[in-house]
């Protein structure tokens, strides 16, 4: 499991003493483990190692490093050798590399790449012109195309030629394209193997092809591939011209990254672009500070509301001590509802048009849950000796009202946000909680005003009110 820890020292030694032996050792190790290993080395040792191995062996390691490691290595290795490695990388990973590099550095390397491998440079430009989260940016331009007039044997030949040239590229399908580069049919490797050598492709390929346009958001692409259990998805423009393919490994990365983003939003953090330890302190202060300030300002309304209802809290002394308990219960039920709805929408189980079914359901759920908590709250208040029964009733009824409010706001807000085009995950747990807090105070005070009307009125007329905390 921790191969890189075990081999790290050996590699360091070999680098110093017998660099020629490195190739033999590295041949035995999966590229992904090598990437881990390189990640554990000091940057200059890593650069030295990558410089030692041929570019076609360095490429699969390099493309598996994370963006920051890549950036660091590019500086140490110089544009010339990076261009060499880039020419051997898979087109989609190559384009990713260029999109993480600072523009000036990227341009310099692209210039060198132009000389080493003009086709690769062209690929980079083709992929880079799409937005970073679009299908076009996720795709690779490397796939096997063939004329539909050819036969199975010719397709197998095309695969052999492709495999010889692209050692690490996975092959799932061959794509039959007409002279205008429009996709007309697909054949998988297994179908080709099962077919007879002289079958014409036109007679056997599948034509009901599922594809995506290059503008489609990567998350939508990922969901679609997951839905149809596809390992590879062709990207096709509005004229039917084939632009590239998206492979399943990239889709898994997208799904994981999007999930991380959603989780962070739910926790009221602006999504980080890089792992926890790679995020700078300043970056963190910005990404967390924004939301803390927004929530702080939002929460100021609780103080304003409490202050506004001062006469009630003066009449029922100690009632304000119940406020955090009551309003946080509303916040909790609201967080539950919003979590369920947001996740349901993210995986496509819930659509905004379902809103009324959800509203009814959540309202009833709030009623039942509120009654349960209300009963506990009622009994808890009564556990204090000399406690006012009216106040116990107030707490119980307030809880019912607050939980119903929480469930309703928590479930409806994400749907409203989605409707107006804002990412529903923005209505994070703390955001919902703060909203519900203010609503909770209003519910509490109004229930108190009704249940304890006589006490509050008497206090307004100069009487002493009730004291809920006899010592």
Residues 435 to 454: which contact a second copy by CB under 8 A?
A: 437, 441
Angle (CA) 267 271 273, round 5°: 145
Contact stretch for a second copy (CB under 8 A) within 13-21, 179-187, 282-290, 444-452: 282-290
b/e code 377-398 from CB counts within 10 Å (16+ = b): bbeebbeeeebbebbbbbbbbb
Extract the tokens encoding 331. 């916040």
Interface mask (CB under 8 A) for a second copy, residues 1-40, using x and -?
---------------------------x-x-x--------
Residues in contact with a second copy, counted by CB under 8 A, come to a total of 109
Binding residue (CB under 8 A) for a second copy from 275, 389, 422, 463: 275
Binding residue (CB under 8 A) for a second copy from 118, 197, 267, 464: 267
Contact stretch for a second copy (CB under 8 A) within 14-22, 80-88, 119-127, 263-271: 263-271
In the region spanning residues 345 to 384, those forming contacts with a second copy, defined by CB under 8 A, are 347, 349-350, 354, 357-358, 361, 364-365, 368-369, 372-373, 376-377, 380
Helix 389-419 with 355-383: angle, nearest 10 deg: 160
**Sign of the CA dihedral with 328 first, then 331, 337, and 338 last:** negative
Helix and strand numbers, DSSP H then E, in the chain: 22, 7
Contact stretch for a second copy (CB under 8 A) within 7-15, 264-272, 412-420, 453-461: 264-272
In the region spanning residues 293 to 322, those forming contacts with a second copy, defined by CB under 8 A, are 293, 295-297, 299-300, 302-303, 306-307, 310, 313, 318, 320-322
b/e code 121-134 from CB counts within 10 Å (16+ = b): bebbebbbebeeeb
Angle (CA) 298 303 305, round 5°: 95
CA distance 440 to 427: 18
Are 342 and 424 in contact, with CB atoms under 8 Å apart? Answer: yes
Instruction: Output the CA–CA distances (angstroms, integers) from residue 452 to 312, 314, 432, 445, 446, in the order listed.
Output: 10, 13, 29, 10, 10
Cβ at position 145, least distance to a second copy in Å: 16
Cβ burial, residue 405 (10 Å; 0-12/13-18/19+): buried
Cβ at position 40, least distance to a second copy in Å: 13
Cβ at position 229, least distance to a second copy in Å: 4
134 pairs with which residues across the strands?
A: 217
Interface with a second copy includes 216 (CB under 8 A)? no
Binding residue (CB under 8 A) for a second copy from 21, 145, 256, 454: 256
Binding residue (CB under 8 A) for a second copy from 193, 198, 356, 421: 193
In the region spanning residues 133 to 192, those forming contacts with a second copy, defined by CB under 8 A, are 156, 159-160, 163-164, 170-171, 189-192
């Amino acid at each position: 499991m921790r191969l890189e820890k075990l081999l790290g020292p050996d590699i360091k030694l070999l680098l110093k003493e017998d660099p020629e032996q490195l190739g033999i050792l590295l041949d035995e190790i999966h590229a992904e483990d090598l990437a881990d290993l390189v990640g554990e080395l000091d940057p200059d040792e890593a650069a030295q190692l990558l410089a030692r191995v041929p570019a076609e062996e360095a490429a699969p390691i390099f493309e598996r490093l994370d963006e920051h490691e890549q950036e660091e290595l590019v500086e140490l290795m110089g544009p010339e050798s990076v261009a060499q490695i880039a020419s051997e990388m898979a087109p989609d990973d190559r384009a990713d590399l260029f999109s993480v590099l600072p523009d000036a550095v990227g341009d310099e390397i692209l210039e060198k790449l132009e000389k080493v491998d003009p086709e690769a440079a062209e690929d980079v430009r083709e992929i880079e012109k799409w937005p970073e989260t679009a299908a076009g940016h996720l795709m690779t331009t490397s796939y096997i195309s063939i004329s539909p007039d050819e036969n199975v044997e010719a397709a197998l030949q095309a695969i052999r030629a492709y495999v010889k040239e692209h050692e690490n590229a996975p092959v799932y399908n061959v794509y039959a394209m007409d002279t205008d580069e429009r996709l007309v049919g697909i054949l998988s490797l297994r179908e080709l193997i099962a077919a007879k050598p002289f079958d014409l492709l036109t007679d056997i390929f599948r034509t009901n092809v599922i594809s995506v346009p290059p503008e489609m958001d990567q998350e939508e692409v990922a969901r679609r591939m997951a839905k149809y259990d596809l390992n590879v998805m062709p990207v096709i423009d509005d004229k039917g011209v084939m632009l590239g393919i998206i492979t399943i490994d990239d889709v898994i990365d997208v799904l994981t990254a999007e999930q991380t983003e959603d989780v962070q939003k739910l926790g009221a953090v602006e999504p980080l672009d890089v792992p926890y330890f790679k995020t700078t302190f300043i970056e963190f202060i910005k990404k967390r500070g924004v939301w803390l300030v927004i929530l702080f300002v939002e929460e100021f309304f609780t103080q304003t509301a409490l202050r506004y209802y001062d006469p009630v809290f003066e009449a029922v002394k100690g009632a304000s001590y119940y406020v955090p308990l009551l309003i946080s219960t509303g916040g909790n039920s609201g967080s539950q509802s919003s979590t369920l709805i947001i996740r349901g929408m993210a995986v496509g189980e819930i659509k905004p048009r379902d809103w009324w079914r959800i509203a009814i359901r959540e309202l009833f759920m709030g009623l039942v849950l509120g009654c349960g908590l209300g009963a506990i709250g009622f009994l808890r208040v009564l556990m204090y000796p000399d406690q006012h029964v009216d106040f116990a009733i107030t707490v119980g009824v307030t809880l019912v009202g607050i939980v119903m409010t929480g469930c309703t706001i928590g479930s409806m807000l994400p749907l409203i946000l989605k409707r107006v085009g804002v990412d529903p995950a923005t209505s994070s747990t703390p955001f919902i909680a703060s909203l519900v807090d203010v609503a909770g105070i209003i519910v509490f005070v109004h229930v108190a005003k009704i249940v304890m009307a006589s006490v509050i009125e008497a206090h307004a007329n100069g009487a002493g009110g009730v004291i809920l905390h006899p010592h």
